Amino acid sequence: MAALQQMVEVASDEGEGPPGLNCVQKAYQALKAREDKQYGGFGSAPKFPQPVILGFLLKFYARYIGSEMGQSALDMVLVCLRAMNNGGIHDHIGQGFHRYSTDELWHVPHFEKMLYDQAQLACVYLDAYQITHEEIFASVARDILLYVSRDLTDEEGGFYAAEDADSFPLASSEQKKEGAFCVWTEGEISSLLSSPLPSSSLTVADLFCHHYGVKSGGNVPSHKDPHGELSGQNVLIVRGSVEETANHFQLSVPVTVELLSKARDQLAQARRDRPKPLRDNKLVTSWNGLAISAFARGYQVLDEQDYLERALKALILYETSSTFRCLVGSVEVPTERALVC
């Protein structure tokens, strides 16, 4: 406990009152000491997205822009965001992000998806896009908001709380498995993506499996699958650039991008036939507030009118409906106290 307290100690030396810059710098230094320079993020497995920390570091960058500390803070965030986007914690077929990674590589996730993670991560990716102007960060923000719009949105405009990690592998299955809705065997992919590549004896499946790390015996290490639920399965993960994949198959980058996009769409269509994980349909007030903010920010940064309409629809629902629930920890309190939750 003493070591933990020392690691997170960022209290100001200025006595009582609001923390000053000394406190902010201590927080930065504590995070810098825990940075995983190789794989991104902080500390060892399990790794959580921690959007609040990433947001703090972006604000730290803005405060110390032009300094070595400021650039270091920005670099920590960008490395982490890129690693999460490429990793298995990101649902490359169904969009959005899973709850956390069980390993330091961001590869094998706990497959639950939480509304508050989606909302806060969308804002961080939008901030990264505004700072860097790199389209990849805008693309990931759109990816997250698409998932929330499609899978976590009530018909009246509110936002559902979560999706479970477990589901039935088949409609006839009697037992649920972790990640069953999201993982793939090489055989499934080969069957679905059997079209030939341009001027080649290889198939789209060969291209896809190369880019997303798919292996014939599955790509989940046994020590990351203690219950054997992912045996023979693949969690999609990107370990190289599109340019590298294009070069490997002697294709142009635009053709490779199009082939991978169409392949993801084909797998998404096939996945819709699988039994879906249960969805937690609670409308949690504070989490809806985060989602409303994310869609409003999406409209502000990306000029997508649909995002504004979704934010307004959810806000109007909150103001006129009694269906929202307010949680303080795990305790539900009356909705009229929602604004102080």
- Do residues 277 and 164 make contact, with C-beta atoms less than 8 angstroms apart? yes
Q: What is the CA radius of gyration of the chain?
A: 21
- For 280, residues 6+ apart whose C-beta sits below 8 A from its C-beta are 160, 161, 162, 163, 164
Give domain limits for the chain. 22-165+279-340, 177-271
Q: Note the residue count of the chain.
A: 341
Task: Look up the CATH number of domain 22-165+279-340.
Answer: 1.50.10.10
- DSSP code, position 234: B
Supply the pTM of this predicted model: 0.90
Distance (Å, whole) CA 61 – CA 83: 20
Distance (Å, whole) CA 108 – CA 220: 7
- Do residues 126 and 137 make contact, with C-beta atoms less than 8 angstroms apart? yes
CA 116 vs. chain centroid, Å, equals 11
Distance (Å, whole) CA 198 – CA 196: 6
Instruction: Tell which residue, 173, 192, 171, 212, has the closest CA to residue 267.
Output: 192
pLDDT in tens, the chain (341 residues): 344 344 445 444 555 666 778 899 999 999 999 999 999 999 999 999 999 999 999 999 999 999 999 999 999 999 999 999 999 999 999 999 999 999 999 999 999 999 999 999 999 999 999 999 999 999 999 999 999 999 999 999 999 999 999 999 999 999 999 999 999 999 999 999 999 999 899 999 999 999 999 999 999 999 999 889 999 999 999 989 999 999 999 999 999 999 999 999 999 999 999 999 999 999 999 999 999 999 999 999 999 999 999 999 999 998 887 767 665 555 555 544 333 33
- Do residues 211 and 238 make contact, with C-beta atoms less than 8 angstroms apart? yes
Number of H helices, E strands in the chain: 12, 9
Q: Going along the chain, which residue ranges are E strands?
A: 100-101, 109-110, 113-114, 162-163, 166-167, 177-178, 279-280, 326-328, 331-333
Both structure tokens of 111: 């497959």
